[in-house]
Structure 1
Amino acid sequence: MKVVEQIKFPISAEMELFEEKFKESMLSKIPLLNRITYYIINRKGKQMRPMFVFLVAKMVSEGKFTDKTYRGASVIELIHTATLVHDDVVDDSNRRRGFFSINALWKNKIAVLVGDYLLSKGLLLSVENDDIDILKLISIAIREMSEGELLQIEKARRLDITEDVYFEIIRQKTATLIASCCAIGATSVGANKEEVSKMHHFGELIGISFQIKDDLFDYTESNIGKPTGIDIKEQKMTLPLIHTLNTCSKKDKKWLINSVKKHNNDKKRVKEVIAFVKDNGGIEYTINKMEIYKNKALEILNEYPKSPYKTSLITMIDYVVNRKK
């Protein structure tokens, strides 16, 4: 059994029903919109975020489940899909998960409007069912994701990101949505404020581990056996590079900054930067940090009794830090 199927196994029936409810939540009277949302649904990813909602809900309530849990998972997936559609416009990206992106097929104007439509459908799903607690959690996540992206853009221009700022960026950009998945899972089954907050923190720790792993891919062998260096080309300051800049000599620091600022499209120079980061302990330091966040997340799970849902969440955490892409 594949790892993702193994994680999904205790909630497989719920995930099937969720698929139907999610399709319904996207419906519109506009044929063009329905064509585009049909395209989105048929090219969906692993659906890790709804899985977090369901697994946390079942773990904290000892197997109970409500319609509110389905709505929470649908809201998360609608918002997540909206952000992906908007991201592809912002990044001028023509591909998403190996397929053409919405903006590549229907142009930017339609892609932005589709993203807005999905966002509004998600918010309305909560409003129409008086799920104000879910609405609050998801609204905070949307605000933080926007702030995180803008903070990264602002700092990338000056290349002066400290480690603290890096963690704040990835907490907002990536971890906040996974945190809201876990908090929504808990709140949907009536967990108290303290437990919802604990699950929010749990999701944040996993989200940070997830993004650190993503940043490491830039320095590890790709499918073609070479490090990608894409983040360096895009002048993104990630943890391996930040740590190296903080620990190397002034002369080397000047060379690194100059390389990222002015020679980021020079393949040979990018390769030299990757080699320098590797030789100066940037990768080991980053892996250690990722392990710290992973272990903190596991510590929170240790407070819960044994269950198939807890086991799946442990497998999910291992998958996040050991995945190959």
Structure 2
Amino acid sequence: MKIVSQIKDPIRPEMELFESKFRESMSSKVPLINRITHYIVNRKGKQMRPMFVFLTAKMLNNGEINERAYRGASVIELIHTASLVHDDVVDDSNKRRGFFSINALWKNKIAVLVGDFLLARGMLLSVDNGDFDLLRIISVAMREISEGELLQLEKARKLDITEAVYYEIIRQKTATLIAACCSMGACSVKPGSPEVETFRKFGELCGMAFQIKDDLFDYGSTAIGKPTGIDIKEQKMTLPLIHVLNTCSNDEKRWLINSIKNHNKDKKRVKEVITFVKEKGGLDYAVQKMLAYKNEALDLLKAYPESDYKGSLELMVNYVVDRKK
């Protein structure tokens, strides 16, 4: 967490002010909603999304920030939180970041309605302030996230995901939201400028690297130690596996597909799959791709003058691939 604290240093006052503005943006006349949103706010994660918004805005605007940047960060968090609440209902998940999910505590019906409320609050925050350009950025992101989830569900049944389809799924599911944060930061201070697209691309590259890193965790390739094999148990096609499926012999391919389809709950078989993917160079290949995305993101920052904000964005890109969880 030391690195995260370091990344946050140049925007610490903005992050503190953001917290109170974000709480305010969630308020309602309905006590039940306030109880639930209070629970959500007190169990927040590292808050990477608003950090991306503020660092981008400040880097592009000589260290200055405006109300639009705060609203942009709040809209992203409101709509992202809504999607997580809905995801937990869809996945029938009882935990989120180690805490009980909203549906576990208040049941599905209330969880869905709270998700809808947060979605509406996010949209109204933009509409009421005439931030239609910011609303467009997050609306496109939410459309893509939904499409990515559905594309993954469709492909998971057949286990026939090509590398190109995999990249499209992770671009939509994960990278598009980080892209929206950086694009939002640029748009809040320089609306209509080429930077809006440059930083959308920067965020997308960070997001691609982030998701490949997540894929690698399943193989225990970090300080966490033991492989989890959760993705294999859930029949999720990740990059190390896809690469090996595309490069191994037909017999090995049949064994792999049979293992994932029919023996994904067998711990011994899952362990064998993990070992096989490692031996066939699946992890090395994924690491190489992840680093290529990281380097492309860092290259985009080279055009901008040195500043604390640029330094934090560079740290953020490196943290994405070096993190231990």
For 1:180-199, what aligned pairs fall within 5 Å after superposition?
Answer: 180-199=180-199
Distance 1:114 1:264 in 2: 35
Q: Distance in 1 between the 2:205 and 2:223 partners?
A: 28
Q: Can you give the 5+ residue segments of structure 2 that lack an aligned partner in the other structure?
A: none
Q: CA deviation at 1:191?
A: 4.4
Write out aligned runs for 1:16-55 (5 A). 16-55=16-55
Give me the whole-angstrom Cα distance separating, in 1, the residues matched to 2:229 and 2:72. 37
Contact 2:223 2:324 in 1 (8 A): no
- Contact residue 75 and residue 123 of structure 1 kept, 8 A: yes
SS in 2 for 1:219: coil
Instruction: Within 5 Å, give how 1:291-310 maps onto structure 2.
Output: 291-310=291-310
Letter in 2 for 1:107: K
| 1:225 positional shift | 3.3
- Equivalent residues of 2:175, 2:203 under 8 A apart: yes
Q: Deviations over 1:177-225 (max 9, x none)?
A: 1001000100100244311000000000000000000111000157773
Flag the 1:267–1:109 CA change in 2: closer, same or farther, 3 A: same
Q: Is 1:104 paired with 2:104?
A: yes
Aligned residue pairs total 325
**Secondary structure class of the residue paired with 1:59:** helix
* TM norm structure 2: 0.98
Q: Any idea what the Cα deviations from partners look like across 1:250-299, whole Å, max 9, x if unmatched?
A: 00000000000111111110000000000000000000000000000000
Q: Name the SS for the 1:158 alignment partner.
A: coil
AA of the residue aligned to 1:310: K
Distance (whole Å) between structure 2 residues aligned to residue 217 and residue 40 of structure 1: 26
Equivalent residue, structure 2, for 1:133: 133
Mapped contact 1:182–1:199 kept (Cα < 8 A): yes
Tell me, in whole angstroms, the C-alpha distance in 1 between the residues paired with 2:277 and 2:221: 14
Matches within 5 A, 1:105-124: 105-124=105-124
CA contact (8 A) 2:224 2:324 kept: no
- Mapped to 2, the partners of 1:79 and 1:231 lie a distance apart of 26
2-structure distance, mates of 1:308, 1:172? 30
Distance 1:110 1:280 in 2: 47
Task: Give TM-score, length-normalised by structure 1.
Answer: 0.98
2:236 aligned residue: 236
How far, CA to CA, are the matches of 1:102 and 1:317 in structure 2?
31
| Corresponding residue for residue 80 of structure 1 | 80
Is structure 2 residue 282 aligned with structure 1 residue 282? yes
Q: Show the counterpart of 1:163.
A: 163
Give the secondary structure class of the aligned counterpart of 1:155: helix
Q: What is the root-mean-square deviation in Å for CA atoms of aligned residues?
A: 1.1
| Matches for 1:3-22 after TM superposition, within 5 Å | 3-22=3-22
**Worse overlay, 120-129 or 187-196:** 187-196
Question: Contact between 1:205 and 1:296, CA under 8 Å: does it hold in 2?
Answer: yes
For the Cα contact (< 8 Å) 1:60–1:191, is it kept in 2? no
Q: Secondary structure of the equivalent of 2:157?
A: helix
CA deviation profile, 1:113-172 (whole Å, cap 9, x unmatched):
111111111111000000000010000000000000000000000000000000000000
Distance 1:192 1:138 in 2: 16
Structure 1: distance between partners of 2:143 and 2:213: 24
- Measured in 2, the distance between the counterparts of 1:223 and 1:145 equals 30
Change (3 A) 1:163 1:224: closer
Q: 1:198 to 1:221 in 2, by over 3 A?
A: closer
Please report how far the alpha carbon of residue 86 of structure 1 lies from its aligned counterpart in structure 2 after TM superposition. Answer: 1.1
Structure 1 stretches lacking a partner, 5+ long:
none
Is the 8 Å Cα contact of residues 57 and 69 (structure 1) preserved in structure 2? Answer: yes
Structure 2 CA distance, aligned partners of 1:224 and 1:299? Answer: 30
- Secondary structure of the 1:285 match is helix
SS of equivalent residue, structure 2 residue 127: helix
Instruction: State how far apart, in whole Å, the 2-side matches of 1:48 and 1:224 are.
Output: 21
Counterpart Cα distance in 2 of 1:191 and 1:60: 11
- Deviating beyond 3 angstroms after TM superposition, the runs of 4 or more aligned structure 1 residues are 221-225
Aligned position for 1:146: 146
2: CA distance, partners of 1:261 / 1:212: 22
What corresponds to 2:174 in structure 1? 174
Which of 188-197 and 29-38 deviates more?
188-197
2:108 is paired with a residue of what secondary structure?
helix
Q: Distance in 2 between matches of 1:223 and 1:110?
A: 38
Over 3 Å counting, the alpha-carbon distance change for 1:159 and 1:183 in structure 2 is same
Q: Deviations over 1:73-95 (max 9, x none)?
A: 00011111111111111111111
Amino acid at match of 2:226: K
Work out whether residues 222 and 228 of structure 1, in 8 Å CA contact, stay in contact via their aligned partners in 2. Answer: no
**Identity, % of aligned positions:** 71
Question: 2:288 aligns to what SS in structure 1?
Answer: helix
